[in-house]
Structure 1
Amino acid sequence: MEHLFEQFEEIGYSKNEAKAYMALLKEPAINGYEISKKSGVPRSMVYSVIAKLVAKEAIIELRTDPPTYTPVPVKELIRNRKRQTEETLSYLEKELQVIEKPVEVNVIKHIEGRTKIINAMQKLMLASNEEIWLSAWEEELKELSHSAIEQGKKGIQLYSMLFTDQETDSFGKTFYHRRDTASIEESRMSKRLTIVIQDNQEVLIAGFVNGQIPQAIQTAEPMLVLLAKEYIRHDMMMKVVSDKVGNDMLNSLWRGDDLLTYIVRNVKN
Structure 2
Amino acid sequence: MKEFKFTESEAKVYISLLQNGPSTGYELSKVSGVARSKIYNILEALTLQGILEINTNNNSNLYQAIPPSHLAAILETNFKNNLLKLEEEASRLTLKEKNQTIWHLEEWQSIFTKIKMKIAETEKSLLVQIWVDELDEELIQLINEKQETIKNVSVVLYDTKKEYSTSLKHYYAHGFEQNKLTEIGHRWITIVFDQTEVLYCTVPFEGVTKAIHTENPILVFFASEYILHDAYCLRLIDQFPEQIKAHFGEDMHGLRDIFSGN
- TM-score w.r.t. the length of structure 2 is 0.53
What is the aligned counterpart of 1:162 among 127, 138, 157? 157
Question: Which residue of structure 2 aligns with residue 126 of structure 1?
Answer: 120
What is the aligned counterpart of 2:228 among 209, 230, 233? 233
Shift of 1:169: 5.2
Alignment of 1:15-26 (within 5 A): none
Aligned-residue RMSD, C-alpha: 2.7
The answer to whether residue 212 in structure 2 is matched with residue 217 in structure 1 is yes
What is the aligned counterpart of 2:147 among 139, 148, 152? 152
- Structure-2 separation of matches of 1:235 and 1:189: 16
- Structure-1 separation of matches of 2:107 and 2:172: 27
Shift of 1:203: 0.9
Letter in 2 for 1:199: D
The answer to whether residue 173 in structure 2 is matched with residue 176 in structure 1 is yes
Shift of 1:198: 0.9
What is the aligned counterpart of 1:252 among 243, 251, 254? 254
Secondary structure, counterpart of 1:105 in structure 2 = coil
The answer to whether residue 196 in structure 2 is matched with residue 201 in structure 1 is yes
Letter in 2 for 1:118: F
Secondary structure, counterpart of 1:133 in structure 2 = strand
Question: Which residue of structure 2 aligns with residue 96 of structure 1?
Answer: none
Shift of 1:194: 1.0
Letter in 1 for 2:173: Y
Shift of 1:168: 4.4
- Structure-1 separation of matches of 2:255 and 2:155: 26
Question: Which residue of structure 2 aligns with residue 117 of structure 1?
Answer: 111
For residues 166-212 of structure 1, the C-alpha deviation after alignment (integer angstroms, 9 at most, x for no partner) is 2545254x21123xx11111221111121111111111001101122
- Structure-2 change in CA distance of 1:151 and 1:125 (3 Å): same
For residues 13-61 of structure 1, the C-alpha deviation after alignment (integer angstroms, 9 at most, x for no partner) is xxxxxxxxxxxxxxxxxxxxxxxxxxxxxxxxxxxxxxxxxxxxxxxxx
CA contact (8 A) 1:128 1:156 kept: no
Alignment of 1:75-86 (within 5 A): none
CA contact (8 A) 1:161 1:175 kept: yes
Shift of 1:239: 2.1
Question: Which residue of structure 2 aligns with residue 26 of structure 1?
Answer: none
- Structure-1 separation of matches of 2:165 and 2:154: 14
- Structure-1 separation of matches of 2:197 and 2:212: 11
- Shifted more, 143-152 versus 110-119: the winner is 143-152
Question: Which residue of structure 2 aligns with residue 108 of structure 1?
Answer: 102
- Structure-2 separation of matches of 1:133 and 1:218: 14
- Structure-2 change in CA distance of 1:190 and 1:127 (3 Å): same
CA contact (8 A) 2:154 2:231 kept: no
Question: Which residue of structure 1 aligns with residue 36 of structure 2?
Answer: none
- Structure-2 change in CA distance of 1:130 and 1:251 (3 Å): same
Task: Please tell me whether Structure 1 or Structure 2 has the larger radius of gyration of its CA atoms.
Answer: 1
- Structure-1 separation of matches of 2:256 and 2:191: 30
- Structure-2 change in CA distance of 1:234 and 1:211 (3 Å): same
Letter in 1 for 2:154: Y
How many residue pairs are counted as aligned between the two chains? 156
- TM-score w.r.t. the length of structure 1 is 0.51
Shift of 1:152: 3.5
- Structure-2 change in CA distance of 1:169 and 1:157 (3 Å): farther
Percent of residue pairs bearing the same amino acid type? 21
The answer to whether residue 138 in structure 2 is matched with residue 140 in structure 1 is no
CA contact (8 A) 2:189 2:201 kept: yes
Shift of 1:153: 4.4
Shift of 1:254: 5.4
